[in-house]
Every structure is written in structure tokens, then in C-alpha cells.
Amino acid sequence: MDQAIDVLFEEGLAKYQAGEPPEQLIPYFQSLCDRAPKNASAWTCLAWLYLLTEQPNKALKAAQKSVKIDARDPQARINLALAMLDSEEKGVRPHIELVQRAIAFDNRFKDEIETNIKDGLTRKPDWKSLQRINSWLFE
């Protein structure tokens, strides 16, 4: 990530963490993706924002791009699985299994994923597909 994009990405994350509504952040992260189309983290964030705003088909496309760029990122895989569930696509299991292996390999992944799931369920309490993924991973 070049330095300017890195700074913009961190600013976008700070806005999200400060509670800025996802609807307002989508154009910001879309612009980042346009400027840095090979930035997997930006695509992962964009997919998450689309998921939070009930746009699973757009989330699916963004998550697919993120996974294509960085196939090992567990959060990108979770976003892809969520988008697939929310858009009624098949083929979720391999993504969940990859995340399960990543969690077993490194507890930092587990902590990050648990934090992200809690955040998602705080922002969208009735998110059934995220509840399912949470139970598959942690129950």
C-alpha cells in the first residue's frame, strides 16, 4: 500500500470506528478501491460496509475481489461467506473451513474475527448470517 493510500485507509477505519454510518463510508472506500484496485484490505472493508447496508450482491463482488487479491485473509473469507449467504449463493463451506484453520493456527486471527463479529452484531443485531457464521466458528 503506498503511503497516501495507507493514510486514507487508516482515516477511513477511524471514521468507521468513531461510528460514522456505513452508508456515508461506502463512497469513501469505493474511492480507495478505485485508486488502489489491488488493495485487498480496502475491498474487504467495502464488502463489510455493503453487508451492513443490506447490499449483498455488491458485497459479493467486493469480497470476491478481496479474496482474489489475498486468498489467505480470514476476514475477507468471512465477508465472502456472509455475502454468499445473504445473496443465497452456494459454496460457503470451503471459506468457513479456511477460516477455522486460520483460527486454529493463530489466536490473533481468532481475536480479530471475534471482535469483528461483535462489531457486526452490535451494528446489525438481527444479522442472521453473521450469527450462523459465529456459531460455526465459535460454538
Domain ranges of the chain: 3-138
> pTM of this prediction?
0.94
**Which residue is listed with cell 486471527?**
109
**Which residue is listed with cell 443465497?**
88
Going by pLDDT thresholds of 50, 70 and 90, the confidence category of residue 42 is very high
Q: What is the mean pLDDT of residues 12-21?
A: 96
Instruction: For domain 3-138, give the fold.
Output: 1.25.40
Sign of the four-CA dihedral 97, 80, 35, 21: negative
In the predicted model, what is the mean pLDDT of the chain?
Answer: 95
| pLDDT, tens digit (0-9, with 9 covering 90-100), for 55-108 | 999 999 999 999 999 999 999 999 999 999 999 999 999 999 999 999 999 889
